[in-house]
Amino acid sequence: MSKNHQFETDAIRTQISSTHAQEHSTPLYLTSSFTYEDAEEMRAAFAGENDKNIYSRFSNPNLQELVDKVCLMEKAEAGYAFASGMAAVFSTFAALASAGDHIISCRSIFGSTHTVFNKILPKWKIETTYVDIDKTEDWDKAVQTNSKLLYVETPTNPAVDLIDLAWLGAFAKKHQLILIVDNCFATPYLQQPILFGADLVIHSATKFIDGQGRVLGGITVGRKDLIDEIYAFSRSTGPALSPFNAWVLSKSLETLAVRMDRHCENAMKLAQYLEAHEQVAWVKYPFLPSHPMFEVAKKQMKAGGAVVSFGIKGGLENGVKFLNAIKMCSLTANLGDSRTIVTHPSSTTHAKLSEEERQKVGITAELIRISVGLEHIDDIINDIAQALKTAL
Ligand SMILES: *Cc1c(COP(=O)(O)O)cnc(C)c1O
């Protein structure tokens, strides 16, 4: 690993060593276990006295390359790669929280993370209090003597709200909370929460890290002492990423910077187009001056990201007409793909929340989320324009 290169170079030049065949591209280590020269080397591997791999549930060269890369990109000390973003979220909380511990989380979070906090962690008496991301003046009240972990997504899904990461880092420090940031929407290219005091960063690698809608993956990176606990938990419980998916994801990171530049350029143009459209009630995009946290966005993000949300005039009825009229863009639950994706969160990804919970996080029936892809911007805008026209 080099410590002197720029972000783009680390993303390309961080490679595990090649085999005797001297591959230029990293080979795929499709093996469940690893062998030893003799009994002593094997004993030392199990005792943790050498850095030999043992079993792919514990470690594998392809996973190591992915972890090394994301650590460099996020300025993190260590990490562990998981089979999905949710495996990363669940394992991180299960490893760090014990019965009686308390979590503070922003209210607007990914739907399945909400289910983990509301339905799964309470089985082990780990309770969560939600706070509004835009009402930080109330957050002190959420802190209890047993509070241990603080969790946020910024920008949030699907409302694209932001929090000031510098403020958040100071808040976590003041209350001695372990700060965990889901950095999925921003990617390490646009935002590095550890620089603002985050202890751990989580990614659903399924999204922009893969970027082409092929594989699932997740990763947690950050403080070495915390990653050691997450590793100990995961090594025995088995949420590890497959070597093949790790290989795909590591390759994908080579193009993250160029892809994100284009994603952001396209998203900005679409956001401006929507903002000027008479059938659109409102648009949320971090780099639009109309975003309530525009100044904060410019301070902590390199660009606004790929996700634009907007409210269509005429509410649910016109929203359904709009979705049915889409021709080129995809109607699917994913995001962070080279293909533009249109979703209606209140009837799909966030349908499990109660109506009251949805209202609280701003997921109204009129909200439409667009994950802007890498097609030519004129074709994206043309498709959205004709669908809006049909929805009149
Ligand atoms: C998709 C997503 C997840 C979960 O990731 P999977 O790879 O689908 O398990 C977690 N957080 C955010 C913000 C996401 O968008």
**Of 293, 73, 268, which is closest to residue 164 (Cα–Cα)?**
293
Domains of the chain: 7-253 (3.40.640.10), 256-391 (3.90.1150.10)
Residues 6+ apart with CB under 8 A from 141: none
Contact partners, residue 227, CB within 8 Å, separation at least 6: 77, 78, 79, 80, 200, 220, 221
Q: In angstroms, what is the span from residue 287 Cα to ligand 1's centroid?
A: 23
pLDDT at residue 357, as a whole number: 79
Give phi and psi for 196, each to the nearest 5: -105, 5
Q: DSSP character for 58?
A: T
Ligand 1 mean position, distance from CA 241 (Å): 15
Q: From the alpha carbon of 334, which atom of ligand 1 is closest?
A: 1
Between β-strands 367-371 and 307-312, what pairing exists: parallel, antiparallel or unpaired? antiparallel
For residue 219, give the DSSP letter: E
Residue with CA closest to ligand 1 atom 11: 110
Minimum CA distance residue for ligand 1 atom 1? 204
pLDDT of residue 352: 76
Which residue is closest in CA terms to ligand 1's atom 2?
A: 204
- Tell me the one-letter amino acid at 310: F
- Cα-to-centroid distance, 24 and ligand 1 (Å): 32
Under 8 Å between Cβ of 201 and 222: yes
Q: Is residue 147 within 8 Å of residue 97, measured between CB atoms? A: no
Task: Tell me the residue ranges of DSSP E strands in the chain.
Answer: 78-82, 102-106, 127-131, 147-153, 178-182, 200-204, 218-222, 280-284, 307-312, 330-331, 341-343, 367-371
What does the pLDDT profile of the chain (392 residues) look like in tens digits?
456 799 999 999 999 988 899 999 999 999 999 999 999 999 999 999 999 999 999 999 999 999 999 999 999 999 999 999 999 999 999 999 999 999 999 998 998 999 999 999 999 999 999 999 999 999 999 999 999 999 999 999 888 999 999 999 999 999 999 999 999 999 999 999 999 999 999 999 999 999 999 999 999 999 999 999 999 999 999 999 999 999 999 999 999 999 999 999 999 999 999 999 999 999 999 999 999 999 999 999 999 999 999 999 988 888 889 999 999 999 998 899 999 999 988 877 777 778 787 777 778 888 999 999 999 999 999 999 999 999 88
Nearest CA to ligand 1 atom 12: 110
Ligand 1 centre and the CA of 43: distance in Å? Answer: 38
Interval 178-207: pLDDT, tens? 999 999 999 999 999 999 999 999 999 999
Is residue 314 classed exposed, middle or buried when 0-12, 13-18 and 19+ CB atoms within 10 A define those classes?
A: middle
Chain segment 318-363, per-residue pLDDT in tens: 888 999 999 999 999 889 999 999 998 887 777 777 878 777 777 8
Given CA atoms 155, 159, 163, 168 in this order, what sign does their dihedral have?
negative
Q: Using the mean position of ligand 1's atoms as its centre, give its distance from the Cα of residue 65 in Å.
A: 21
Q: Quote the percentage of the chain above a pLDDT of 70.
A: 99
Task: Pick the atom of ligand 1 nearest to 87's CA.
Answer: 9
Q: What is residue 133's predicted lDDT score, i.e. its pLDDT?
A: 92
Nearest ligand 1 atom, CA 157: 13
Alpha carbon nearest to ligand 1 atom 8, residue: 85
pLDDT score at 2: 54
Which of 288, 369, 373 has its CA nearest to residue 108?
369
Tell how far the Cα of 21 is from the centroid of ligand 1, in angstroms: 37
Counting ligand 1 atoms within 8 A of each CB, the residue from 84, 86, 363 with the most, and so the one to mutate, is 86
Report the alpha-carbon distance of residue 232 to residue 22 in Å, rounded: 33
Which atom in ligand 1 lies closest to the alpha carbon of residue 217?
7
Q: Of all protein residues, whose CA lies closest to atom 6 belonging to ligand 1?
A: 85
Q: How far is the CA of 115 from the centre of ligand 1 (A)?
A: 12
Give the position, in ligand 1's atom list, of the atom nearest the Cα of 89: 10
Distance 85 CA to ligand 1 centre (A): 5
Task: Compute the distance from residue 213 Cα to the ligand 1 centre, in Å.
Answer: 13
Residues 6 or more apart whose CB falls under 8 angstroms from that of 60 comprise 29, 31, 53, 240, 243, 246
Strands 200-204 and 218-222: antiparallel
Cα 183 to averaged position of ligand 1 atoms, centre (Å): 10
Query: Quick one: which of 327, 343, 337 has its CA closest to 385?
Result: 327
Atom of ligand 1 nearest to the CA of 218: 7
Amino acid at 22: Q
State the distance from the centre of ligand 1 to the C-alpha of 44, rounded, in angstroms.
37
Taking the CA of residue 86 as reference, the ligand 1 atom at the shortest distance is 9
Residue ranges lining ligand 1, Cβ < 6 Å: 84-86, 89, 110, 113, 153, 157, 182, 184, 204, 206-207, 216, 218
Write down how long the chain is.
392
pLDDT for 90 equals 98
pLDDT at 3: 63
